[in-house]
Structure 1
Amino acid sequence: MTSQSNRLPVGALIVLAAIGFTAITTELLPSGLLPQISADFNVSEATAGYLTAGYAAIIVLTVIPLSMALSRIPRHFLLIGLILTFAASNALVAIVSDFGAAMGSRVVGGIAHGLLWSAMAPFVARIVPAHKVGKALAIVFSGNSLGLAIGAPVGTALGNLLGWRSAFLVLAASGVLLALLAVWLLPPVRRIPDTPHPSLRKAISQPGVKTVAVGWPLMLMAHFALFTYIAPFLREVRLPDFTIPLSISVLGVAGLVGIWIAGITVDSRPRRWHLITVGGVVVSLLLLPLVGTALPGMALGRLSGGDVVLPAVMVLMFVWGTGIGAMGIYNQSAILRAGGEYRDAANGLTVLTIQIGITIGAMFGAAALTFAGPALIPAAAAIPAVIALGLILAGRRHSYPPGRDERQPPSWPGQGPGSASSGPGAGRETGPVSGP
């Protein structure tokens, strides 16, 4: 089915954003409740942390083979089934009495998580006009930042107030409600008979796919290298503990701002604004180590070092969060474009590489913490961000081409309107109209 209307299916997009919110909250919730969970199951906090690590690991192992195996299932049916799987996983975590059973339940949720994100963007591209794919993705992906800014902190607060099992039961009930809304609001999108079967090999062979599949995870590697160890960094620059949840909320709110910026530019000026936002992340990460050493010494008058450092850190974190929120939309649009008729497989590839990037990012941050100290974690995180920025600069032709308002006009008489941008994809819309 190809959408012919210029109207966005707002109800369907909001439901998808709510599903994304639930998925992100589900992934992050154990991290905020580790003391309760470890005490309840009589395991160490390090062992309880496997509820998060195992969740991510199973995505890496299963997302591509399962995405291909389930490619014939109509997307709206698949999405509804995955939401119910989330609900069942969270309910089981809440009611089991054995840590091994809880771990198994989280693994089931992780499988659903990977499949959800591999199916979500291609589904959106099928139900909206091509020239509004970027705006639609911005709406859907706002659920991610809301999950980070609101879902994880509120879920943690609820768990501390009513018990960690209650928090997971609330997520389970939310999943059932979302499944009912999805049945009502998600339009039926069936596989087009002559659409090629998803092929990872052919997707990788498409010009630009490899660059996006590497550049996007590099940015997430940079993000999670610092985000995972934000607490020791803030303590190292002598900020109080209340700034730890504050910084998470600042990053989440900034992510919404980044999504808004991407939503109004991804269909017209994606290359320029992608470079600006990623460049902002690089600058922020490079400046953050300085605020804990230079600014306290520069504090004058009645301002103490902490008074100067806190607003400086929050401003830099806001710029960092804005860039991370925006780059998700730009990269999602880029992989759908670069994947062409094999966009489903290309999108599944990025789900895999993203989880690898997150995992390596956390390990890289741990290494930076051990060998360089907490104050230099942001500088270490800047390294993969700089490499990603270089890939964006080099990927003008196939991976990150200019948008419709960025193409050069004819520079001499007789030049055709489309010849100013000769690279493949330069004359295409940002998002595809149809796909599996």
Structure 2
Amino acid sequence: MTTASVSGGAGTPAAPPPRLPLSGLLALSTAAFTAVLTELLPAGLLPRMAPDLGVSEARVGYLVTGYALASFLAAIPLTAALRGLPRRPVLIGALLGFAAADTVTALSSSYGLTFAARLTAGVMGGTLWAMLVGYAARMVPAERRGRAIAVVLAGITLALSLGLPAGTALADALGWRAAFAAPAVSAVLLVVWVRRRVPGFPGEPPAERVPLLRVAALPGIGTVLSVTLTLLVGHQVMYTYVAPFAKDAGFGRTGLVLLVFGVATVAGIWLTGALVDRHLRRTLLGALALLAAAMLALGSWAGHAAVLLTAVALWGVAFGGAPTLVQTALVDASGTANADVATSLQTTVYNAGIAAGSLTGGLILGSSDSEALPWTTLLLITVTLLTVAAGHRRAFPPGRPSDVRADLRANAGHD
């Protein structure tokens, strides 16, 4: 390589890396925020919603379960069915679906109608999550892909750390219906933002569509999906039951524990965004090692409040950037042309991991005591760490891989 090719011309300094299209990426991040807020809001409003809907708090809790189940079932088939359509209308349709579902929830006094609205919202969620990461990846050059995905997925953390407490506060002030009306209105306003700032991309022409099974069989995809599953199961085992764990450890201020975790995840996202494009593999290995150390500390010394809060903070930093790391690895392995299909697979695995982790933690808590939770998580995170360390080079490469779209087209004639 000549000096001129490095500098952009004799005596001419290299061009700076292109700036991120922040307005469009923040619109996608707000879509992620809206989806998470819609999904989890009933969990914080159980005592308020149950009397108005004439059901028990447990049945209100099923509104979260129904959403997750619909999202789990819809992600792959809907993504496959819609992949030929232009991307921005599909995104706008999903947002309008959220607006309609949240509006019905805010107005309904029937549990059956509310449950149907939640199923609709779950279908919209499955569609949205399958396309957000791929959309972000197509908006930037490959060398900025990880940072763009980090911006979009920051909406998840902000929803958990700020959106849900704000929704609960709004319900305290104006009633639970106002808490659902707010994301309905914001989803409509977000459509305008998306229409103005998010670029339109065409759907996949039939001749260029790679079948779902071939995408799943691409080198590295299986490894990334297995890492996603064990990571989420391990995290959810502990996170779902952090309140009884903290109480049993002698620290009853669960709100403070969750606040520390939430703030730390923001730091984790920022740190990941700075490193993911240059050091994806090392950053993921470091995050998993930090998470393992946090679980070791919680399992051994959680009775000391300072140790507990420090370990929770390390856990938050480590896990905060994990979605960005695994989803960036998935897009790198699949190529941007197949990112929506690959992400639909990951969305399904993600929801399965959350459900399996919550179930596993509940079984552990029912058969022993909460002290076993961090050790179970440590075991699963160790398995995840070893999988990444030994994983396929396409899954977790030391540097930025090239897009595999050309490889797929070159191999299309050999099937």
TM-score for the superposition, normalised by structure 1:
0.86
Give the whole-Å Cα distance in 1 for the aligned partners of 2:51 and 2:163.
23
Q: Which amino acid aligns with 2:379?
A: I
Would you say the 8 A contact 1:148–1:249 is kept in 2?
Answer: no
1:163 aligns with 2:175: yes
1:216-238 Cα offsets, whole Å, 9 max, x none, are: 12211112211111111111112
Q: Quick one: which of 56, 65, 90 aligns to 2:68?
A: 56
Q: Quick one: which of 391, 398, 410 aligns to 2:387?
A: 391
Partner of 2:255: 245
Partner of 1:298: none
Partner of 1:66: 78
Would you say the 8 A contact 1:266–1:403 is kept in 2?
Answer: no
Give the whole-Å Cα distance in 2 for the aligned partners of 1:314 and 1:22.
29
Give the whole-Å Cα distance in 2 for the aligned partners of 1:396 and 1:201.
19
For residue 195 of structure 1, report the CA deviation from its aligned partner.
Answer: 6.5
1:196 aligns with 2:208: yes
Q: Quick one: which of 370, 376, 383 aligns to 1:380?
A: 376
Q: After TM superposition, list the pairs within 5 Å mapping 1:30-429 onto structure 2.
A: 30-191=42-203, 193=205, 196-240=208-252, 243-293=253-303, 295=304, 309=305, 311-340=306-335, 341-403=337-399, 425=401, 428=402
Give the whole-Å Cα distance in 2 for the aligned partners of 1:41 and 1:194.
46
Partner of 1:301: none
SS where residue 373 of structure 1 aligns? coil
For residue 196 of structure 1, report the CA deviation from its aligned partner.
Answer: 2.5
SS where residue 208 of structure 2 aligns? coil
State the Cα RMSD in Å: 1.9
For residue 214 of structure 1, report the CA deviation from its aligned partner.
Answer: 1.3
Partner of 1:408: none
Distance 1:193 1:158, change over 3 A: same
Q: Which amino acid aligns with 1:76?
A: R
Give the whole-Å Cα distance in 1 for the aligned partners of 2:338 and 2:294.
36
Greater mean alpha carbon deviation, residues 253-262 or residues 97-106: 253-262
Aligned residues: 390
Distance 1:211 1:396, change over 3 A: closer
1:356-411 Cα offsets, whole Å, 9 max, x none, are: 0011111011011112212322222222222111111111522111025xxxxxxx
Give the whole-Å Cα distance in 2 for the aligned partners of 1:235 and 1:70.
47
Greater mean alpha carbon deviation, residues 62-71 or residues 377-386: 377-386
Q: Which amino acid aligns with 2:332?
A: R
Distance 1:194 1:6, change over 3 A: farther
Would you say the 8 A contact 1:198–1:344 is kept in 2?
Answer: no
SS where residue 395 of structure 1 aligns? coil
SS where residue 374 of structure 1 aligns? coil
Give the whole-Å Cα distance in 1 for the aligned partners of 2:302 and 2:141.
48
For residue 42 of structure 1, report the CA deviation from its aligned partner.
Answer: 2.2
Would you say the 8 A contact 1:51–1:103 is kept in 2?
Answer: yes
Distance 1:361 1:79, change over 3 A: same
Give the whole-Å Cα distance in 1 for the aligned partners of 2:293 and 2:46.
33
For residue 68 of structure 1, report the CA deviation from its aligned partner.
Answer: 0.5
> Whose helix proportion is higher, 1 or 2?
2
Would you say the 8 A contact 2:223–2:392 is kept in 1?
Answer: no
Unaligned regions of 5+ residues in structure 1, if any?
A: 296-308, 405-424
For residue 317 of structure 1, report the CA deviation from its aligned partner.
Answer: 1.0
Q: Which amino acid aligns with 1:316?
A: A
For residue 343 of structure 1, report the CA deviation from its aligned partner.
Answer: 2.9
Give the whole-Å Cα distance in 2 for the aligned partners of 1:194 and 1:59.
26
SS where residue 94 of structure 1 aligns? helix
Would you say the 8 A contact 2:297–2:308 is kept in 1?
Answer: no
Partner of 1:414: none
For residue 290 of structure 1, report the CA deviation from its aligned partner.
Answer: 2.4
Would you say the 8 A contact 1:396–1:402 is kept in 2?
Answer: no
Q: Which amino acid aligns with 1:73?
A: L
Give the whole-Å Cα distance in 2 for the aligned partners of 1:245 and 1:204.
40
Give the whole-Å Cα distance in 1 for the aligned partners of 2:405 and 2:331.
7
